Amino acid sequence: MATTSRGHYVIHVRNTTPLLIGWYDPVKADYLGIRPTEIKGLWNWWARAFIAGAMYDLGLLKGESSRDILLKPSSRETKIINFITGKIMGLGFAGEGESEASRFTISVEPMKPIYPKTYRDDYQRIKLLSLGGRRIEGFAPRLSFRLVVSKRVSKYKFEEDTALNILLVSLLLTGIGKGGRRGLGSLDITSQNIIREKDLGGFIEKIYSNCLEIVEKFRDGHYRELPKLSLDSAKSSKEDNPPPLPCISKKIIRGIPISRILLVKGLEFKQIHNFFVRTERCRVLTGSSICRDQLRESHYAWVLGLPRELGKTRKTGYVLESKNITRRASPVIVTYHELENVFGEGAYVTILVSGDWPTRLTWIGAGRRPIEINVDNLIDAYRVAFNELSNYLAKLNASMQTIWPR
């Protein structure tokens, strides 16, 4: 039976990098700065990543292959992940006869009036958005916002508390708005009344352990008042297959951690942002803007993410061969934090290995090169990308440590 809850949580955040939130016109800035829907989207994504990681580590998630996608979760696996995050952790669930609204509400307000500024070519993501002479509106760093999260009702306190903890992690590890995976829209949490933790690695470990417990309880039929969804063991599948979607996992396959969260110190935001720009990466690695770095030499640069097709304007690079796949977001997520952040300063780099990649690409450069993606070269591509990142940071004299897993 649901009971009324007085849960009222306040989180103060401040953006450390330009904040690009589109409005009715994508090049215009949303006058609110941050909308609750943005926060809810990140929150749900990370909750699914934690639950999927727990399922994968318990041998309960293996995915399936198709002609166009190397691995993807089955429809039953997808439903179970959404069922746990939505109906048990309280983030809302959509399903025939089983729909349930989120038990949480979010409101966001700027601490003082905010006004957009115009950006043209300051950062890589903005350069892409401003092709054709367009000017992009956004908000300059160091604007403060107040997030209020309220719990309407409570059904499972432990699970709902775990969801709230995931909300904090999602704000720390992913930027808001356009270019959020490249560090734009990074948010410092300057104060909050949810936890007292200061060690982000230990905090993530606690969330991971809680999610293992939630999945085990679900598997064992603990939530008896909910419809039963069977969890089939995936232990008979190949042990060295990656998960079918990005997740927070402790597994290591072929020497590569499925999930890795790094803390990088001793560099400016633009330096970590520019790792994803080949000319800038070459400049740091070799002193020249033109080079054949490891990613170019091996034709593995696709592992940094595949953008949407640009029609006839796309003359070079990696082209998707399937009409059913329009893009593949980067598995490397960057945020940048300053001293005011309650978990400390530095850049967080999250690398998530998963099998949800297209099976076929074409590289167009000096000729055309067909690329078949399988588990072997997928893992190798991640290995090369991590080595390239390590070399890049070393050239910048930046320090790097793994904060999770330990």
Please name which of 104, 125, 44, 108 lies closest in space to residue 78, comparing C-alpha atoms. 44
Residues 277/124, Cβ–Cβ less than 8 Å: yes
Residue ranges in 174-314 assigned as alpha helix (H): 200-219, 269-273, 278-286, 294-297
- Taking the alpha carbons at both ends of the chain, their separation in whole angstroms is 39
Amino acid at 254: R
Name the DSSP letter for residue 123: S
pLDDT digit of tens for each residue in the chain (406 aa)?
A: 333 346 789 999 999 999 998 887 878 888 889 999 999 999 999 999 999 999 999 999 999 999 999 999 999 999 999 999 999 999 999 876 688 999 999 999 999 999 998 887 667 767 766 666 678 889 999 999 999 999 999 999 999 999 999 999 999 999 999 899 999 999 999 999 999 999 999 999 999 999 999 999 999 999 987 767 766 665 444 568 999 999 999 999 999 999 999 999 999 999 999 999 999 999 999 999 999 899 999 999 999 998 765 544 456 788 888 777 778 899 999 999 999 999 999 999 999 999 999 999 998 877 788 999 999 999 999 999 999 999 999 999 999 999 999 8
Q: How many Å apart are CA 389 and CA 402, to the nearest integer?
A: 13
* DSSP count for the chain of H helices, then E strands: 9, 17
Q: How many Å apart are CA 93 and CA 219, to the nearest integer?
A: 19
